[in-house]
Amino acid sequence: MTGSWVKALGQDVLAGLRLRPGRTLLAGGAIALGACALTVLLAAVAGLQAHTLAITRVLGSHTFAVLGAAPGGVAEQRLQIGDVRLLAANLPDAQVSAVRRDSVAVPGHELTLDLLSTDENLVAVRGWQLVDGRFLDAGDLAYAQRDLVATRALARQWGWHVGQVVDVGAVPFKVVGIVDTPAAALEATALAPDIVVRDLSAFVPESVAPDWVGGNGTLQPWGVDAIYVRAGDDEALNKAQQTAVQLLSRADGGANHLSWVTPATLAAGLDQLRHLVAAVAGGVSLLSLILGAITLVSLMLANVQDRVAEIGLRRSFGAEPRDVALLFVAEALGLTLAAVVTGALAALLLLELGPRLPLPVSVDAWVLLGPLLMGASLGVLAAWWPARLAARIEPAQALRQA
């Protein structure tokens, strides 16, 4: 019985929507466009949320980074190896590590390699996993061993493996380990470029590089690009950051010459981006949906006007006012849901096959449910007034008019 009731209602809905195909298409098109924009918006918001979590993991839990001026920037504002030692000496409960990034050519490869000069603590501070071999150790640092640890992406791409001797900038290095750096996948987002490790990166002892990378044989004060500090928990992290600010402050301008990157600052940056995306895509979807809703209301009103006789006929066959109202609500719902599904599918296809968006996107249940809920609400809202009018039509008057 329920099946035949649904079937009959479906037939009524289809017949009603066919009455004015042009206006039905216009309303459906506008709603589909809105649903498409809304799906992209939700996917982008979900993507940014996932990205926030991922980038927090990239930085490392209970970890903050201190960034100085970029290479080539104001020399006085660069972090020095001495700063690293100062922090390490005064933060006994925290782990401290530092990285300097240089770009070097590798024979036989067109792309340059990011050579990250660092110490033995980096892998622990950043919370990375070793895939093979070992990370740099105290011996490498103390004896300036030409040992190298490759990222997993680099090892896969260039076929490097543990035990292999590779030429880096015409200097032979022995690959001692391969490490998984989850940040590599986030490289393209440029949301936190200073803490992200590119795919083509390798780590070498910081005691090796000053003699060799871009130094032309002259030893200069050895600058670092980032210092990482990892504490045991959030409270210890705050304390360590306060101490670090005091230690690295200058008499004139405090520690403002440095950038402090924490999970909170990263999340705040992403939140700003999320708000921007929500404002732009949300605006487009809102405008389309308003246009669709107005067209839908006018379509429903026209349908009621065109079907006065049919309404009278239905009433003469025993339909109650609520049955008549339900008919128009079902029509509006049918149209909006069909339009929303079309728009959402178009958006998913676009995200899958179209040009890559400059934002991370992620499709979760809400990305699919959100537009559907929106469509259902819009359909009910747009149909409410016309359905009420239709339900109030006196059957005798309806049949006489017709």
Which residues sit opposite 116 in a β-bridge?
A: 101, 203
Q: What angle do CA 99, 60, 274 make, to 5 degrees?
A: 105
Closest approach of Cβ 394 to other proteins, in Å?
7
Furthest-apart CA atoms within the chain: distance in Å: 104
b/e 270-290 (16+ beta carbons within 10 angstroms → b): beebbeebeeebbebbeebbe
Least distance CB 279 / other proteins (angstroms): 46
Interacting residues toward other proteins by CB under 8 A: 1, 4, 8, 12, 15, 18, 309-310, 312-321, 323, 394-396, 399-400, 402
Residues in the chain: 402
Which of 271, 394 has the CB closer to other proteins? 394
Least CB distance to other proteins at residue 311 (A): 11
Nearest to other proteins of 2, 216 (CB atom)? 2
Shortest spacing between CB 4 and other proteins, in angstroms:
5
Nearer to other proteins, 250 or 400 (CB): 400
Q: Are 149 and 155 in contact (CB under 8 A)?
A: no
Pick between residue 108 and residue 318 the one whose CB is nearest to other proteins. Answer: 318
Q: How far is the CB of 310 from other proteins (least distance, A)?
A: 7
**Alpha helices (H) along 19-100:** 21-59, 81-90
Q: Which is nearer to other proteins, 4 or 216 (CB)?
A: 4
d(CA 61, CA 262): 9
Pick the closer one to other proteins by CB: 89 or 309.
309
CB atoms within 10 A of CB 379: 26
For 18-31, the DSSP string reads HSSHHHHHHHHHHH
| CB 316, min distance to other proteins, A | 5
Q: Which of 16, 8, 26 is nearest to 306 (CA)?
A: 16
